[in-house]
Structure 1
Amino acid sequence: MKNSSLYLLFFFAIVLMVFNGCKKDDDLVIQLDTSDYSSEVVLSWIELTLKLTKETPGYSPPVAARVYGYSGLALYESVRHGMPGYKSLEGQLNDFSIGTIPAIDQNVEYHWGAVANSTLALFLKNCFQTTSTANLALIDDLEEQYIQQFKTEASDEVIDRSIAYGELVGNAVLTFANSDGQAECYNSNFPSSYTVPVGDGLWEPTSAANPIPLQPYWGDVRPFMEINVDDLLPVPPPAYSTDVNSDFYLEAMEVYEAVNNLTTEQVVIAEFWSDDPGNTATPPGHSYSIMMQILSDEGADLALAAEVYAKLGMGVHDAFVSCWNAKYHYNLVRPITFIHDNIDNTWSIPLATPPFPEYTSGHSVQSGATAQILTDLFGENYAFVDRTHINRTDIDGSPRAFTSFYDFADEAAISRLYGGIHYRAAIDIGVEQGIAIGENIATLQFQ
């Protein structure tokens, strides 16, 4: 009996020691992993980001892709400490040095949903400073909505600490982002300092409204991975020629005949993938809409959402830098200019030709990169339905079904032929260029 009492006292002493050892701030700490949280907060911020991209002046496709890239990196780095086995991307990305991201206090609790909310709120407030007052209020409202929600899940002390850490990471990545010299790139889409080259086969303005092409220096913007630009200048397009038997002339004739014989379905495809700035969140925004739909359909947790967001954001950003490097290297004339000058001066097309050189196709490069990245994450035969334009009334925005991510990339790319925007080489080689970018993103060591 005496021994039993001693054993019982010893047992309670051990329990008390363990309990007291786990107590922090007068509460029992149960540190959850990032994967224990829902991706709802991220999906809400993506949805708002797409709205802001559409409604904020100056957010051309390259500018939008830059925001997606750096905000995705910030999100990942802010919640990575709650992802056992995952590594920082410090030292792996161009100029992203080790020690950039603030450390966490390993001895206290964080709410990773609140961290993510704080980071993305800070990023959007800084990146969309020139948006409307109403939109700025939406950023504040969304941030506060999740703060209040998360305060029902953890103590005020934990939430305040998490908010502070999210802001620290957000500011660190924002400083890194702005070291590329593009903090106000939305103001420099058509720089007057650029002199348009003149010569046979070179780009000419296709609209009096844009005598200067869009972002002519974007090919020099810092990519996340140098290899995506330095090693991925595509092979030259067919040599410019007005000879009716030349490869170049035949490619122009293909565009001419395709537009002249469009089916109803091809018109729908051309309009579905046009994604014009001001009317939509631009082509990279379309890729982000697809990502958002996949994460929602999968019921993804916060950890998966952060990884996908980071990979796709960096891939799409690098896709536009790599593509723009090619565009201004080759500076190729657009189909509508060549066809008007050499085939039919009355020819019209269903879409407006974008104000920049032709080769390679931006839609094709960024769609190829998106397809490769999402395939690596979700599989080669991942069937999905794209509902991006379901609420539009100016076009047929009916959802479109795809058997794989490559299937969507091929349709997005060929849509530019149907729209009279690109020659075949820019489309096919552009997809290959994008896939190579996606493959390079896959070499980053997240784990």
Structure 2
Amino acid sequence: MTIHYVRSWCIYICMLLVIAACNKEDQALRPENALAVADPSISSNADATIPVSWYQLQFRLIKETPGFTPPVAARALAYTGIALHEAVVWGDRNGHTLSGQLNALYNVPRPERGRRYNWAIAANSALSDITIRLYPNASPANLSLIRALDSTNLSAAGNGCDAAEISRSIQFGRQVAAAIYNWSATDGGKDGYLNSFPTDYVPPVGPAFWVPTPPAFQRALLPYWGNNRLMVRPRYPETAAIPHPPFATDTASSFYKAAYKVYEAVNTLTPEENTIALYWADGGGTFTPPGHLLAITAQLITEEGLDLIGAAKLFAQVGISVNDAGIVCWKYKYRYNLLRPVTYIRQYIDAGWSSLIATPPFPSYTSGHASFTGAAGNVLAGNFGSSYTFTDNQKVPEGFAPRSFNSFQQMIDEASISRVYGGIHYDFDSEVGAETGKAVALRVLSLRY
């Protein structure tokens, strides 16, 4: 990457930022935890551009950093949102720390009592630090972008602040990021990006079980991911599995009919169905399905003019939801190890058949797309309403037309069915995935932020 490109990136971020000068008027302390003096400029709509700028950079990092498959990307985006939330929540008189609410998260740093902080600077510092920590194998060019964005945002947010307040705010953001990262290192997924296809995993053998699929015939992706720690514990321990229809080859069976539906869907795709399949594909080299959902979140934050506190809350909620949805989904994938449609269809229906989209290297049940979108979509509905209408512009740079939705449920349904149109999931994969994603969302929304 040339110096010119780094400079161009900085100029672009500068255009997004509105300078938040330090207002020296006093503001009421947060009654529950009256620790720090909050800067009134925190309520400015412009403040949300700092976290949005960091998420935009992370979408690039996901695309370009080795090992950032969908579950790994979801994990990084979740810890980013939590670090952001914990760095600024103390500026919200009605806010609540997630310390003590999230699984095994305790003793997150608090600001010093009676000291003044610039929360935009604290947010920028936390986001810079956590990004560096979560993407340790980022390219030198992208590491340069991280440093440049940190400097650009600090210059904008710190204009008019005294040096002590700037330094204090930077240090607090770094302390929060370090605490969140140290907590993240104990969840079981810290090094997932380094070992996507562990060689010690041996899949079960049998007619109903997953086998590597064309064209790459790769080993199983992240087979142990379902063992990772959830961020939000279910209220009650899981007592029963959610089974798929029994495997069968009889043409009258539910399983055969589900496979034949995939076969027929791909063979008779309308132009609109073809577009839907490709629009939601978000495969290798993209910002992944979780990245797509967080990109929609960033877009809505900007369009709705959310302030820094509102953006931090929403980024945290959506991030936590896709992380936990990924863990739940991968737990089911490797509990059932169900074969993919392409395997079944070639064996029992049409030996020469191919899916529209290349089948990813892991078992079929449940659908990751449906799980991620079911979780994020229901969190967004919980914030904006079940009848909220919006247009997703995130794939325009890739040549797609914007897609408009009358509700988040419509988005969930479309993303879920897209995998059937693509030929890589049975409809029950998507239906159950969307439901388990919704269950995750309800747990996330039950927390206090």
Structure 1 length-normalised TM: 0.90
Aligned mate of 1:435, from 432, 435, 438: 438
Q: Is the 8 A contact 1:228 1:322 kept in 2?
A: no
1:55 aligns with 2:64: yes
Q: Is the 8 A contact 1:351 1:421 kept in 2?
A: yes
Q: How much has 1:108 moved relative to structure 2? A: 1.6
- Distance in 2 of aligned mates of 1:80 and 1:119: 13
- Distance in 2 of aligned mates of 1:401 and 1:40: 24
Q: Is the 8 A contact 1:375 1:382 kept in 2?
A: yes
1:444 aligns with 2:433: no
Aligned mate of 1:293, from 299, 320, 339: 299
Question: Over alpha carbons, which structure has the higher Rg?
Answer: 1
Counterparts of 1:9-408 in structure 2 under 5 Å?
31-32=39-40, 34-36=42-44, 38-97=47-106, 99=107, 101-207=108-214, 209-227=216-234, 230-231=237-238, 235-278=242-285, 280-393=286-399, 397-408=400-411
Aligned residues: 416
Q: Which secondary structure does the structure 2 equivalent of 1:227 belong to?
A: coil
Residue equivalent to 1:424: 427
Query: Where does structure 1 differ by over 4 angstroms across 4 or more consecutive aligned residues?
Result: none
Q: How much has 1:234 moved relative to structure 2? A: 5.4
Q: Once the two structures are superposed, what CA deviation does each residue of 1:307-355 show, in whole Å capped at 9, x if it has no partner? A: 0011111110000000001111111010000000000011112100010
Q: Which secondary structure does the structure 2 equivalent of 1:58 belong to?
A: coil
Q: Once the two structures are superposed, what CA deviation does each residue of 1:62-107 show, in whole Å capped at 9, x if it has no partner? A: 000000111111110110100112111111111112x2x1121121
Residue equivalent to 2:16: none
Runs (5+) with no aligned partner, structure 1: 1-18, 23-28
Which amino acid in 1 is paired with 2:203?
V
Q: What's the C-alpha RMSD, in Å, of the aligned pairs? A: 1.9
- Distance in 2 of aligned mates of 1:225 and 1:231: 14
Q: Is the 8 A contact 2:121 2:157 kept in 1?
A: yes
- Distance in 1 of aligned mates of 2:232 and 2:300: 26
Q: Which secondary structure does the structure 1 equivalent of 2:115 belong to?
A: coil
Q: Which secondary structure does the structure 1 equivalent of 2:208 belong to?
A: coil
Q: Which secondary structure does the structure 2 equivalent of 1:39 belong to?
A: helix
Residue equivalent to 1:14: none
CA distance change for structure 1 residues 232 and 400 in 2, over 3 Å: closer, same or farther?
Answer: farther
Q: Is the 8 A contact 2:244 2:365 kept in 1?
A: yes
Q: Once the two structures are superposed, what CA deviation does each residue of 1:278-317 show, in whole Å capped at 9, x if it has no partner? A: 1x11000010111011101101100000000111111100
Q: How much has 1:370 moved relative to structure 2? A: 0.8
Identity of matched residues, %: 40
CA distance change for structure 1 residues 405 and 338 in 2, over 3 Å: closer, same or farther?
Answer: same
Which amino acid in 2 is paired with 1:445?
R
Runs (5+) with no aligned partner, structure 2: 1-23, 28-36
Residue equivalent to 1:409: 412
- Distance in 2 of aligned mates of 1:59 and 1:142: 21
Q: Which secondary structure does the structure 2 equivalent of 1:391 belong to?
A: helix
Residue equivalent to 2:34: none
CA distance change for structure 1 residues 125 and 156 in 2, over 3 Å: closer, same or farther?
Answer: same
- Distance in 1 of aligned mates of 2:212 and 2:164: 58
- Distance in 2 of aligned mates of 1:51 and 1:228: 36
CA distance change for structure 1 residues 402 and 145 in 2, over 3 Å: closer, same or farther?
Answer: same
CA distance change for structure 1 residues 420 and 267 in 2, over 3 Å: closer, same or farther?
Answer: same
Q: Which secondary structure does the structure 1 equivalent of 2:391 belong to?
A: strand
Which amino acid in 1 is paired with 2:68?
Y
Q: Once the two structures are superposed, what CA deviation does each residue of 1:208-259 show, in whole Å capped at 9, x if it has no partner? A: 7444210000000011023189539752111000001000000000000000
Which amino acid in 1 is paired with 2:99?
E
CA distance change for structure 1 residues 408 and 228 in 2, over 3 Å: closer, same or farther?
Answer: farther
Q: Is the 8 A contact 1:30 1:109 kept in 2?
A: yes
Which amino acid in 2 is paired with 1:120?
L
CA distance change for structure 1 residues 234 and 406 in 2, over 3 Å: closer, same or farther?
Answer: farther
Structure 2 length-normalised TM: 0.89
